[in-house]
Structure 1
């Protein structure tokens, strides 16, 4: 087989794999979308387009589940968690990767142990600690623990990014008299934009889709996340498949939007690269 034929086969194989993965992700969404347009309390016809699309199902699901209040609550929790968690993970990751932090290896080992701890194992001590602190029932009962629970993964992620950073630029900046803060802000941080974008997406998804912590730590349903609202909505309208699919798509939409927006910046940062 010639080199040209081998290259063509490789390209076809890669395209086929990508198409299969794309269909694996897109078909369930298309099935949910067509089911959301079916008449309520009926059996959706799968991927077939309904003869009479019921677009009002989205409005009915939005109203029935009180999604406006839940969306506002989720946005507040996301704004409280994601910026703080990304900032702290970035600073800690840079310190462990580039600075001579006393006990850095021990700290890194403890963080790796934290990656193995599931949220469910910590929910009981969290409940009593937050109760003693007087935070139980407020959004802070979700924001503060979630920041801490996301730290092991975030620090590990950013540490790996800073370990692979270009050292020549850092050495040149040191020779020019740049401080550690200037090197971090002007050199290392711009080079870490791809990792920051990916981490922001992951933290957003983990916070937006958080179900257990709001359910256990917040009594008021209107102060929980949309994921918790969907659970209550499912219990009330469990047999109404069309309404459930419409509500699920409403919850998925912000996650898709954030992913698409940050993905563009992520790809742009990768294409820009670093000056070597």
Structure 2
């Protein structure tokens, strides 16, 4: 009886959490379909479906260029970050070397460092090397900013692998690279897939760095472009809602395609034999 009540309570809480997350998207979608001159929003059903808001927002906001820039940044940050984090996580999780605890402490400090504390120094540093208003002005800082989480994430995975695997590989004459590439890396695919998806979403949604480090419209990303679009069309709710959907649709599609890998990565190691 207690188990049944607990199951019902868990189900109710999950439904509440799901609805809480889904309701804002419904409100935005309904508002985006209102007539362009409408001042209503929220959950008001549109008098007629006006899909022209999306075309108008796409053209007026230049979202073709903005989405292309966001895609370039995210697609470059993702593999560079995943490769570096996986290699460093392997070293931190399976090897013993002097200063390991100190290095781990530095990564933990990196997790707590707010972007606002470093963006000014980044601006002047990138200006000195002539990287402002280029894609590298976002790619390099984002790769470094995401690295602490990625390394700790992959370290946690490699620490769960039985030491007998690496010991058996060493007995067979395998070096560190062979052990990593042929034995440990295949087991890390769920963790790597999850990390790659997180890196893509974080890179796509990054706003502060994109707003400050890139002023060139040709390289501006979707979130930064959306903020300028909101300033320009602040009173046109349907147009603003349509532009918001345009920006978030790529992330939603990526999540829907890779949701199984994401959940598998989160749940990996939760149940051990």
TM-score, length basis structure 1: 0.91
Q: Distance in 2 between matches of 1:267 and 1:118?
A: 27
- Give 1:171's aligned residue: 167
The 8 Å contact of residues 53 and 238 in structure 2, kept in 1 or not, is answered as yes
RMSD: 2.1
CA displacement, residues 207-251 of structure 1 (integer Å, 9 cap, x when unaligned): 101111122122212201100010010000001111111111111
- CA apart distance, 1:102: 3.0
The 8 Å contact of residues 95 and 101 in structure 1, kept in 2 or not, is answered as no
- Give 1:190's aligned residue: 186
Aligned mate of 1:40, from 36, 43, 64: 36
- CA apart distance, 1:269: 6.7
The 8 Å contact of residues 28 and 241 in structure 2, kept in 1 or not, is answered as yes
- Give 1:55's aligned residue: 51
The 8 Å contact of residues 230 and 248 in structure 1, kept in 2 or not, is answered as yes
Unpaired runs of 5+ residues, structure 2, are: none
Shift >4 Å, 4+ stretches? 267-276
- Give 1:206's aligned residue: 202
Q: Distance in 1 between matches of 2:268 and 2:24?
A: 34
Indicate yes or no: 2:68 matched with 1:72.
Answer: yes
Q: Distance in 2 between matches of 1:150 and 1:220?
A: 24
- CA apart distance, 1:197: 2.0
CA displacement, residues 97-139 of structure 1 (integer Å, 9 cap, x when unaligned): 1012332111111111111211111111111211111212211
- Give 1:98's aligned residue: 94
Q: Distance in 2 between matches of 1:61 and 1:106?
A: 50
- Give 1:16's aligned residue: 12
- CA apart distance, 1:266: 3.7
Cα 1:44–1:201 change in 2 (3 A) is farther
The 8 Å contact of residues 61 and 225 in structure 2, kept in 1 or not, is answered as yes
Q: Report the 3-state secondary structure (helix = DSSP H, G, I; strand = E; otherwise coil) of the residue aligned with 1:223.
A: coil
Indicate yes or no: 2:176 matched with 1:180.
Answer: yes
The 8 Å contact of residues 90 and 155 in structure 1, kept in 2 or not, is answered as yes
- CA apart distance, 1:51: 2.8
- Give 1:114's aligned residue: 110
- Give 1:89's aligned residue: 85
The 8 Å contact of residues 191 and 266 in structure 2, kept in 1 or not, is answered as no
The 8 Å contact of residues 77 and 143 in structure 1, kept in 2 or not, is answered as yes
Unpaired runs of 5+ residues, structure 1, are: none
Q: Distance in 2 between matches of 1:272 and 1:247?
A: 37
Cα 1:271–1:119 change in 2 (3 A) is closer
CA displacement, residues 50-107 of structure 1 (integer Å, 9 cap, x when unaligned): 2311111111111111000111111111122111011101111111110123321111
